[in-house]
Amino acid sequence: MRKAVAFTGPSNSGKTTLIEKIAKKLISSYKIAIIKNDPADKAKFDKKGKDSFKFFATGAEVVVTSPTRTTYFSHRQKSLDEIIDMINDFDILLVEGLKYLPLPRIGIFRGELDESYFRYIKAVAIDDSVDKSKIPSNIEILDLNNTDEIIDWVLKNAVDI
């Protein structure tokens, strides 16, 4: 089984927190992989002066391995298929962002809905701060604070990849 589902929404809506909660609950039963998009290129992976920073600064593709993890640093954008091939061994892939990918997708919103996301999503995960009446009837409504309900949706809607 290799299935994927995606999460999207504005900054600070709770995407990372939700994905973390889902992964923690599913990891005992499934091999989980996560891809996070960094569209503003803000993620900091290493500190200036360290070997991996120096190696990456050369322009090379860099892999750092240790007894507990392997981290791949690349200067080249990878397609979803290329990333999946690199990860390879997983049951469920959780993707944060990359809203143009044709995956079943949950939109995460707090406070205000951003209707520009509606064409990309099959469901929304919201809390009581969101006006449900503005959500189109073809989009399923999930409780952002009910991780089990969201996991059920993920397991029912994730697609084979």
Per-residue pLDDT of the chain (161 residues; tens, 9 = 90+): 899 999 999 988 999 899 999 999 999 999 999 988 776 666 666 678 877 788 788 777 777 777 887 788 888 888 888 888 888 889 999 998 887 788 999 999 999 999 999 999 999 999 999 999 999 999 999 999 999 999 999 999 999 98
pLDDT of 46 reads 67
Strand partners, 1: none
* Domain 3-40+77-160, classified CATH 3.40.50.300, yes or no: yes
pTM: 0.86
Per domain, the residue ranges of the chain are 3-40+77-160
pLDDT of 42 reads 65
